[in-house]
């Protein structure tokens, strides 16, 4: 019996390792192709794709794993970005330190917000996060001492269109997706998914529902904030317009579009949205129009996305 179980578990890990390898190949291919292409447009597009993948992965942790819809990922992205700029301007530290600061800021934000939101569920929870997002947007505009206000902040020593940074971002994106993959088959990951499937059943077998929901929020926000730090490395300039509710909605569309698979879904959703977005950035209104159309069409008529997931909530007939 024991050996049979051992074999069983080994098979699951082998499958996970295969997915890891595939992800690594995909991102490596993207990075190599972009570097080979050489143009600034290609590098920028790939950087945006990598960052957006990180954001999609962050929402996947909260929504795909823990059934908590968040409309505030862009706001947390902004917190990470502003913290990184603030830290670098104040003390001229190297990027890894700024990254740690951003991650910590995201985690703290998660802790602070998860507690008041703990008892909320489904769409009421989403509305709570909506309130947070719009408050953050206001804060970014109206606290010029910290954020440079509506005119934004210039980023010191930013490396715009840098190939090494592009490669770093691709590596991070691949790494986060692999982490999601392994989380899914880990003991804690399975408990989180059990809570998502049936919260009362999970509580009745001793799973700590409150703690797991809290951890999901903290990890999700840390990843989003970390992505914000990486964003500042590539942008010469950040402003409140980069971190709006509209951006949060874009991340949500990507997760839903991606579908049930936490690995390929994250990649597919982020890729699909990034490609469509890149085609329409010439006219900013067009980009938003596309987002609006996607929100209506994908959520209304393709709720299972490209690989099969739906937003939380009771099914009504």
Partner 1 sequence: MNELTGAVSSSLFYGTALGLMALAFTIIYTVSQVFNFAVGQFMILAALLTTAVRFTGNAVVNDLIAIVLVGAMGSATYLVALRWPETHGASPLTLVIITFGIGIVVEQVAVLAWGSYPLSEAPVLGGHFVLNGNYIPYQGLLLIAVAVVTVTGLGLLQRHTVVGKQLIALGGNRATARYYGINDLALVSVAWAISFAVLAVVGTLYLPLTGVAITTDLSYGVAAFAAAVIGGLGNPAGALSGGIIVAFVTNLTGVYVNPNITDTLTFALLFAFLVFRPGGLTGRAIELLGPRA
Partner 2 sequence: MSATPARDTAPPLAVTGLRKSFGGVRVLHNFELTIPARSPGAVAVLGQNGAGKTTLLNLITRLVPADAGRIEVFGHNVLASGARQLAGLGVARTFQSPRLLLDETCLNNVALGARSVRRGRGSAGRDRAGAAAMRRAADALDRVGLGAQAGRVAGTLPFGSRKLVELARALALQPRLLLLDEPAAGLSDLEEGRLAGVLSGLTDAGITLLLIEHRMALVAAVARRVVMMDGGAIVFDGDAAAAIASPLVRERYLGAGFDQVELTKPERSDHQ
**Residue ranges binding partner 1 (CB under 8 A):** 69, 116-124, 126-128, 130-132, 134-135, 137-139, 142, 199-200, 203, 209-210, 244-246, 249, 252, 285-286, 288-289, 291-296, 299-301, 303, 310-317
Work out whether 304 is an interface residue with partner 2 (CB under 8 A): no
Work out whether 194 is an interface residue with partner 2 (CB under 8 A): yes
Work out whether 205 is an interface residue with partner 2 (CB under 8 A): yes
The position carrying tokens 């579009």 is 257
- Taking the complex as a whole, the smallest distance from the CB of residue 6 to partner 2 amounts, in Å, to 7
Of the pair 27, 77, the CB lying nearest partner 1 is at: 77
**Best CA proximity match to 158, nearest among 247, 106, 89, 227:** 89
Tell me, by CB under 8 A, how many residues bind partner 2: 24
Task: Extract the tokens encoding 277.
Answer: 């977005």
Task: Extract the tokens encoding 300.
Answer: 């209304």
Return the C-alpha torsion angle 31, 32, 35, 38, nearest 10: -120
Q: Which stretch binds partner 2 (CB under 8 A): 20-28, 61-69, 175-183, 203-211?
A: 203-211
Task: Extract the tokens encoding 33.
Answer: 């192709």
User: In whole angstroms, what is the distance from residue 204 CA to residue 310 CA?
Assistant: 25
CA angle 222, 223, 226 (to 5 degrees): 85
User: In whole angstroms, what is the distance from residue 175 CA to residue 286 CA?
Assistant: 32
Work out whether 3 is an interface residue with partner 2 (CB under 8 A): no
Of the pair 27, 243, the CB lying nearest partner 1 is at: 243
- Taking the complex as a whole, the smallest distance from the CB of residue 247 to partner 1 amounts, in Å, to 11
Spatial contact of 171 and 35, defined as CB atoms under 8 Å apart: no
List 115, 197, 297, 302, residue binding partner 2 (CB under 8 A): 197
Backbone angles phi and psi of 159, in degrees to 5:
-110, 95
Return the C-alpha torsion angle 261, 263, 267, 270, nearest 10: 70
Of the pair 184, 226, the CB lying nearest partner 2 is at: 184
List 208, 281, 304, 310, residue binding partner 2 (CB under 8 A): 208
Of the pair 132, 262, the CB lying nearest partner 2 is at: 262
Partner whose footprint covers residue 206, from partner 1, partner 2, none (CB < 5 to 8 Å by kind): partner 2
- Taking the complex as a whole, the smallest distance from the CB of residue 210 to partner 2 amounts, in Å, to 8
The three-class DSSP label of residue 260 is coil
- Taking the complex as a whole, the smallest distance from the CB of residue 272 to partner 1 amounts, in Å, to 16
User: In whole angstroms, what is the distance from residue 174 CA to residue 35 CA?
Assistant: 17
Work out whether 15 is an interface residue with partner 2 (CB under 8 A): no
Contacts of 2 by beta carbon, 8 Å cutoff, 6+ apart: none
Q: Are strands 153-154 and 237-238 parallel, antiparallel or unpaired?
A: antiparallel
Contacts with partner 2, residue ranges (CB under 8 A): 1-2, 4-6, 8-9, 187, 190-191, 193-194, 197-198, 200-209
């Amino acid at each position: 019996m024991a050996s049979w179980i051992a074999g069983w578990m080994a098979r699951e890990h082998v499958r996970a390792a295969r997915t890891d390898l595939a992800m690594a190949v995909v991102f490596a291919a993207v990075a190599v192709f972009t570097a080979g292409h050489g143009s600034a447009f290609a590098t920028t597009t790939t950087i945006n794709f990598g960052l957006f993948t990180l954001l999609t992965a962050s929402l996947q942790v909260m929504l795909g794993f823990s059934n908590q819809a968040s409309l505030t990922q862009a706001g947390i992205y902004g917190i990470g970005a502003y913290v990184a700029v603030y830290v670098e301007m104040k003390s001229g530290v190297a990027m890894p330190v700024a990254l740690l600061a951003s991650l910590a800021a995201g985690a703290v934000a998660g802790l602070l917000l998860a507690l008041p939101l703990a008892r909320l569920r489904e769409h009421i929870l989403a509305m709570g996060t909506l309130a947070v997002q719009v408050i953050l947007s206001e804060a970014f505009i109206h606290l010029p001492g910290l954020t440079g206000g509506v005119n934004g902040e210039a980023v010191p020593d930013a490396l715009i269109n840098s190939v090494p940074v592009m490669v770093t971002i691709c590596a991070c994106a691949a790494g986060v997706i692999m982490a999601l993959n392994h989380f899914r088959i880990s003991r804690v990951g399975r408990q989180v998914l059990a809570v998502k499937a049936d919260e009362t059943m999970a509580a009745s077998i001793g799973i700590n529902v409150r703690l797991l929901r809290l951890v999901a929020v903290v990890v999700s926000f840390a990843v989003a904030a970390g992505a914000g730090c990486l964003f500042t490395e590539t942008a010469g300039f950040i402003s409140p317009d980069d971190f709006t509710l509209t951006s949060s909605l874009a991340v949500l569309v990507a997760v839903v579009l991606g579908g049930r698979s936490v690995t390929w879904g994250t990649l597919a959703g982020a890729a699909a949205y990034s490609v469509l977005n890149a085609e329409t950035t010439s006219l900013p209104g067009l980009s938003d129009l596309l987002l609006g159309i996607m929100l209506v069409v994908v959520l209304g008529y393709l709720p299972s996305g490209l690989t099969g997931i739906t937003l939380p909530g009771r099914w009504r007939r």
